[in-house]
Amino acid sequence: TVMVTTADTSIAQYRNHAIDWFVFRRWVAFMVMGSFGAAFIARMLDVTTIELFVGILMLAMAAKLIANWQPGNPRQWPHPLVSTSIAASIGTVSGLTGIGGANLVVPTLNYFSFPMVHAAATASALAFFVACFGTIGYAIAGWGQTSVGTLGYVYHPAAVPVAVGAALCAPFGVWLAHQLSSTRLQMIFGALLVVVAAQLVLGSVL
């Protein structure tokens, strides 16, 4: 479902010239490798613990966005090794938890002083590739180990209707993002981040 949604969103953001290609070129390969590899290590890990950790991390990120907190001085782009580690970590965590990656990319780029519109646009473009390779990874990792009606670990009967609905709404989301001020968009994204984080935390403890 993330593939379809982010494909529509990425095309719309590309037309609006909102994607930051500096970040995209430096992160896409490492996020893709992390997402693809996550499919093969997921069954060896306690994903519930990972979801709890990511949920708490996302709550902290949401608090930062809602409070509009920024470091005293604008944060510079990190050293290439640090940048690579961040991208690979986001890709791996996204693959393990199925959150697409945008929920982690947006607050990370915001921390490094990127405007919210460009952070959201770049995150959607990255999330498309993360979702594609993550899906391929789970299809391969679960090939021949699951029941009829699935493609590896991918349950497509449920994915198709959700993807259609999400794809229909994605262009409106892009339009709305470009109508809102950066501060308002940041607040809305922070609130949505709270919802996703709460779902991860509650799902891991209940």
What pLDDT is stored for residue 138 in this prediction? 85
**CA angle 74-178-11, nearest 5°?**
100
Question: Is 60 exceeded by the pLDDT of residue 75?
Answer: yes
- Structural domain range at position 33: 2-205
Residue 148 CB partners (closer than 8 Å, separation 6+): none
Q: For the chain, how many structural domains are there in total?
A: 1
Q: Express each pLDDT in 155-184 by its tens digit.
A: 666 666 666 766 677 677 778 877 888 788
- In this predicted model, what pLDDT tens digit does every residue of 32-70 receive, in sequence order? 999 999 988 887 877 788 788 888 888 888 887 888 776
What is the distance between the alpha carbons of residues 41 and 37, in angstroms, rounded to a whole number? 7
What is the rounded distance in angstroms from the CA atom of residue 173 to the CA atom of residue 35? Answer: 25
Percent of the chain with pLDDT over 70: 85
DSSP 143: T
The crossing angle, in degrees rounded to 10, of helices 80-97 and 116-141 is 60
